[in-house]
Structure 1
Amino acid sequence: MIVLGVDHAAQLVAREDRPAVLAAFLDRAAPDAICIERSPEAFARNDFYEFTYEVQDVVVPFARERNIDVCPFDWHPSTEDAQLGFGMDLEAIPEIRPIRGFQQFLTFPEPAQLHRTLFHADDPHNVTRSTQWSLTPAARTAQDLPRRLFLYRTFLQAKRIAAAARAHPGGTVVVVVGEFHKRDIDAVLADEPGIVVVQPSSLGAPNDADVHQRELPAYRFAVASFNLLGRQAETGNRDDAFLRETVDALSGSGAAAEVQLLATRLDLLQGRISRAEAIGRYRQIAAIAGEARFTWTGVKDIRRLDSWFDPFGNLSVRQRAHLELARESIRAGRRAEADRLRTALGGELTARQRRQLDGYWPLLAK
């Protein structure tokens, strides 16, 4: 049993923890089954948490390609119980996501997050803060539900993982789970008869050749889109060399307009081109993009405008070029031009998406 603790979607910002590294590690582990952090009921509907990029975009495709059993193991309270305990449906996404707080757009603002490695969670010191929180009751008992629910959820996760292991006697089972759960899962499984827990780091990190072999254009598009189009770009926290290498590697992918847009955004953020040059490029991209869509968006509900990391994630490449043109027009003080673009763009969207466009539009000025 190998329990790999992850920071959900951090593969998109950390070079040494990038998607191909995870895929190469799974190759090295050669599992008979892979356990993923989603409930069996949701997985049966092919339904995943929005933000678990590593699950739906790396682990599950990897397993299906090799006919490896996938064992969902998560547990969460019913909608009714969540309403009773928290006063809300924990999986309901607000029409306009908040900038901060629960259900906000996911970003990684801390420089240390760019240097995360695959085996980060193997070191208990790296998860000390979450461990201490889980062991410390809230000052007021009435406010202790999140901690108690976390412990209960993690215990049931471990029991479902143990059941998956029993279904594969003598086999290797890899568990991919949020790192905060790893400590308790390891402890529960250690007491399960017939299960031997092995730390992921004991297998060793994949070498460069193995990682290179596992690189896919889909991984690179995801890295580029998350860092350049989503709210991550506004944090200023990025690995410029990693992103340059990623975008350059996409130049022969065939998605010309999309790659040009990503390259323009990167050049502008890195100060390689002026705002005026970027505006000219965006106009050219809009003219050639046609109906092209982005290779990867992370959008779960196509009726919405946004994704879990990008307020405007469900736009086409042409529409996105116009949006970026509006962003730079606003910052250049050309509000009338931006308003014209906003009106034209809104005319192509549904009423719901148009309301979200209006709600998120002020973010372009920040």
Structure 2
Amino acid sequence: MLVRFVLHLTMACLLSLAALPAAAKEAPATTRVVVLGVNHAAQLVSESDQPAALAAFVTRLAPQAICVERAPEQFARNDHYEFTYEIQDVVVPLARACGISLCPFDWMPPAEDEVLGFSMSISTLPEVRTPRAFLAFPEPAALQRGLFHADDRKNLAKVDDWIRNVPEQAARDLPRRLYLYRTFLQAQRIAAAARAHAGGTVLVVVGEFHKYDIEAILAGTPGIEVIQPSQIGLPSAKQIAAHHQRDYYLAIARFNLLGVQAATGNVDWDWTGRVLDTLTRESDDAEVALLRTRYARLRGTMSRESAIVAYREIANRAGASQPAGWDGVLDRQRVDSYFDPFGNLRIDQRARVELARELESGEADAMETIRAALAKELTPRQARQFDAYWARDIVVER
């Protein structure tokens, strides 16, 4: 009887509560979401889109959180895409220094699905990269790119067209379908970050191809207001200068002078020269001397004979104790970086590579002596990669 009484009493209480008028729910606080579309690592070729400008914009916006393009699982291991310079070298260090929350939001298919769909793992690097696997910007327009380039939708007309048009052969449609699914899940993780920072500002730094699809998915979501970066405004020249870092300038110089970008000839020589001037004033070390010598050779202001002397002096000056100040290498077991076949070499080693580049066909023995000595200083895996790149990028120049 007691049990039955308790059950009836409980039911009566529940029915009474159900009969009460529902309390009006408060509208969620509105979170501003600013989607900054970027061209990965293009900050290294365009002065208007340079790393310090991005850092200054983040400071000007003062977000409570920044969403970065990497899946949470990889981000937790401090594992980034190689080519997302703007994330691991600008945004993440700045956010951590300023106490800004970081919210990884990307999604990629499991490796098994990559193999099933593409007959290969698109996330696995080959032991020796093909020339096209190194990042470069051969288009002259890349040098004129501004910080808010993606805010003008006309600049993304080609990808908009690709997204909306199904190919005639459905069997070739996996890249587009995967893009749509990936971007949808990206938007859901961004929405979750916006809810976690209700009433604040969330900056999203993402490859520009994803920008408008993300914004369309977020549009109309309660508690989210999408704001264009251009509505915030560009940072001033003074604000940009305040965010100068030596590593930013080393990255700019190395990308344009030592990476495959140099071979394209598509370099803002005036800006790169001013970058070198600043680096020289700050510390005219062996690394800067290497970069200045390479700049002079590419510009034709130094003879081959003078460059050979300079590279020998740089190698001796640096010795075996001076690593690169910045090189963009994520996998130290490789000899390359995402933009430079010889990116993971010390300054003295790289000076010897550039010396060999200056030798003529009649100096094959001297070139081979340099190659053999360098290969011995590397691990077996690095040496195999080194020899492959040497044959393709140094020997063929003779």
For normalisation by structure 2, the TM-score amounts to: 0.90
Partner of 2:366: 337
Structure 1 CA distance for aligned equivalents of residues 99 and 372 of structure 2: 48
Question: What does the per-residue CA deviation read over 1:55-83, in whole Å, with 9 as the maximum and x for residues that have no partner?
Answer: 00000001000010000000000011111
- How far residue 271 of structure 1 moved from its aligned partner, in angstroms, is 1.1
**Rounded Cα–Cα distance in structure 2 between residues aligned with 1:185 and 1:333:** 58
Alignment match, 2:96: 64
Counterparts of 1:134 and 1:249, CA distance in 2: 43
Which one of 120, 137, 144 corresponds to residue 166 of structure 2?
137
The corresponding residue for 1:226 is: 255
Q: Note the residue ranges of structure 1 that are not aligned, 5 or more in a row.
A: none
Q: Distance in 1 between matches of 2:85 and 2:371?
A: 30
Give the structure 2 partner of residue 22 of structure 1.
Answer: 54
List aligned pairs for 1:67-216, cutoff 5 A.
Answer: 67-100=99-132, 104-216=133-245
CA displacement at 1:339 relative to structure 2? 1.0
SS of equivalent to 1:34:
strand
Matched residue, 1:292:
322
> Judging changes above 3 Å, is the alpha-carbon distance between structure 1 residues 235 and 124 closer, same or farther for their aligned structure 2 residues?
same
Aligned pair count reads 362
Q: SS state of the match for residue 342, structure 1?
A: helix
Aligned amino acid, residue 342 of structure 2: F
Per-residue deviation, 1:255: 6.0
User: The residue matched to 1:63 in structure 2 has which SS?
Assistant: helix
Task: Name the CA distance, whole Å, in 1 between partners of 2:101 and 2:230.
Answer: 23
Which of these residues, 66, 73, 87, is aligned with residue 34 of structure 1?
Answer: 66
- Identical columns (%): 56
Given candidates 39, 51, 57, the residue that maps to 2:83 is: 51
Correspondence for 2:5? none
TM-score in terms of structure 1 length: 0.97
Please give the secondary structure, in 2, of the residue aligned with 1:176.
Answer: strand
CA shift, 1:333, in A, is 4.3
Q: CA RMSD in A?
A: 1.0
Matched position secondary structure for 1:250 = helix
Match of 2:345? 315
Which amino acid in structure 1 is aligned with residue 328 of structure 2? G
Partner of 2:292: 263
Matched to 1:225, the amino acid is: R
Q: CA deviation at 1:89?
A: 1.5
- Runs of at least 5 residues in structure 2 that lack an aligned partner in the other structure: 1-32
**Matched residue, 1:7:** 39
- Partners of 1:86 and 1:252 lie apart in 2 by 50
Q: Secondary structure in 2 aligned to 1:314?
A: coil
CA shift at 1:136, angstroms? 1.1
Task: Tell me by how many angstroms 1:191 deviates.
Answer: 2.0
> Residue 130 of structure 1: SS of its match in structure 2?
helix
Equivalent-residue separation in structure 1 for 2:85 and 2:381 (angstroms)? 26
Query: Are residue 240 (structure 1) and residue 269 (structure 2) matched?
Result: yes
Q: What is the distance in 2 between the residues matched to 1:316 and 1:253?
A: 21
* AA aligned opposite 1:123: D
Alpha-carbon distance between aligned partners in 2 of 1:37 and 1:333, rounded to the nearest angstrom: 50
Separation in 1, partners of 2:207, 2:330: 20
AA aligned to 1:218 is D
* Secondary structure, counterpart of 2:131 in structure 1: coil
Aligned counterparts of 2:64 and 2:353: Cα–Cα separation in 1: 46
C-alpha distance in structure 2 between counterparts of 1:209 and 1:58, whole Å: 18
SS of equivalent residue, structure 1 residue 193? coil
- Counterpart in the other structure of 1:273: 302
Q: Structure 1 CA distance, aligned partners of 2:92 and 2:311?
A: 35
Alignment CA distance shift 1:160-1:216 (3 Å): same
Return the alpha-carbon distance in structure 2 between the equivalents of residues 335 and 175 of structure 1: 52
Distance 1:363 1:256 in 2: 27
Report the 3-state secondary structure (helix = DSSP H, G, I; strand = E; otherwise coil) of the residue aligned with 1:175.
strand
The CA distance in 1 between the partners of 2:120 and 2:61, in whole Å, is 40
Distance 1:354 1:56 in 2: 28
CA distance in 1, matches of 2:262, 2:364: 22
Paired position in structure 1 for 2:11: none
Q: For 2:52 and 2:257, locate their aligned partners in 1 and report how far apart those are by CA, in whole Å.
A: 19
CA distance in 2, matches of 1:354, 1:255: 30
* Counterpart position of 1:251: 280
Find the partner of 1:349 among 375, 378, 398: 378
Structure 1 outlier segments of 4+, above 6 Å: none
Matched, 1:358 2:387: yes
User: What is the CA–CA distance in structure 2 between the aligned matches of 1:279 and 1:133, rounded to whole Å?
Assistant: 49
Residue identity in the other structure for 1:216: Q
Whole-Å separation in 2 of the counterparts to 1:226 and 1:343: 26
Q: Secondary structure at the match of 2:67?
A: strand
